[in-house]
Structure 1
Amino acid sequence: MSTKVVEIKTLKVGKYIVLGGEACKIISYTTSSPGKHGAAKARIEAVGVFDNQKRSLVKPVDNKVDIPIIDKRLGQVISIQGDNVQIMDMENYDTIDLPMPEDLKDEITEGREVEYIVAMGNMKIMRTRGS
């Protein structure tokens, strides 16, 4: 797996974290002040990038967690077959079959450029580029 280890106190809303073996985007981050007998705690709510499941984590802010290394790439749509999109990577010209995202069905057409991410062995189309 391609991950890095960081302290919880360095995380922010909008960044990524690995929870339950899945890459997740942080949607909420709160901390409580240290008490008489303990350290400050962080409460993190995150949504899975690939499965859209909500996950949470409560740990001391000094603990370390994994964050995924996310590779953002650019590709061009070659063809659309039902719910699958065939994309050619613009850097190395590899062809990849990815599922069609529900929210981008109207925007993805053949010949259009799309941005997709690669993280922890999974790939997903994130947005379209251009007009």
Structure 2
Amino acid sequence: MTDMEDTHFETGDSGASATFPMQCSALRKNGFVMLKGRPCKIVEMSTSKTGKHGHAKVHMVGIDIFNGKKYEDICPSTHNMDVPHVKREDYQLTDIDDGYLTLMADNGDLREDLKLPDGELGTQLRSDFDVGKELLCTVLKSCGEECVIAIKANTALDK
């Protein structure tokens, strides 16, 4: 008789990974890639041919999608790179309270856990909201992080 313990495995998460592998040569400009452990948008790519027995190398420059920092990496074109799963969602802005946004999803769910973005975007968002504009906030979500990356006028509400 076998013991049940032998075949029982503990799982730590749902199995959904924050990233997936993709061969370096298949990556494209304006796509996403993990550079130095951060989700980045590729802004520059160049491939260099190397010596007689070397491999072609891909030089990538990416901008962190959350903090705007620039990262660079060079890897052989045959190597796999991690590509982050990036999800975009639009939310209706309903309030700004103490530096946090109150956002409403399409299904009516409210969330109040996202900060007003820094820099020009935050300033623009605040001033548009203060003059009564109906705004949609585009939220980018990847690797357990989220932030507002863009705002636009909510034309769906205009009659």
The TM-score, its normalising length taken from structure 1, stands at 0.88
Aligned to 2:67: 51
Per-residue displacement from partner, 1:83-124 (whole Å, max 9, x unpaired)? 322212224614132122222222452642111111111111
Q: After superposing the two structures, state which structure 1 stretch, 100-109 or 21-30, moved more.
A: 100-109
Aligned to 1:90: 106
Aligned to 2:147: 124
Looking at secondary structure, tell me which structure has more helix per residue. Answer: 2
Q: After superposing the two structures, state which structure 1 stretch, 76-85 or 1-10, moved more.
A: 76-85
Residue 112 of structure 1, aligned match among 113, 119, 135: 135
Residue 41 of structure 1, aligned match among 47, 57, 62: 57
Structure with the bigger RCO (C-alpha within 8 Å, sep 6+) is 1
Per-residue displacement from partner, 1:29-68 (whole Å, max 9, x unpaired)? 0001242120100000111111222111111100001001
Looking at secondary structure, tell me which structure has more strand per residue. Answer: 1
Letter in 2 for 1:128: I
Query: Structure 2 CA distance, aligned partners of 1:35 and 1:93?
Result: 57
What runs of 5+ residues in structure 1 fail to find an aligned partner? none
What runs of 5+ residues in structure 2 fail to find an aligned partner? 1-16
Aligned to 2:120: 103
Report whether the alignment pairs 1:64 with 2:80: yes
Letter in 2 for 1:123: E
Q: CA RMSD in A?
A: 1.8
Residue 38 of structure 2, aligned match among 8, 19, 22: 22
Structure index of larger Rg: 2
The TM-score, its normalising length taken from structure 2, stands at 0.74
Please tell me whether the aligned partners of residues 20 and 82 of structure 2 are also in contact (alpha carbons under 8 angstroms): yes
Query: Structure 1 CA distance, aligned partners of 2:115 and 2:138?
Result: 14
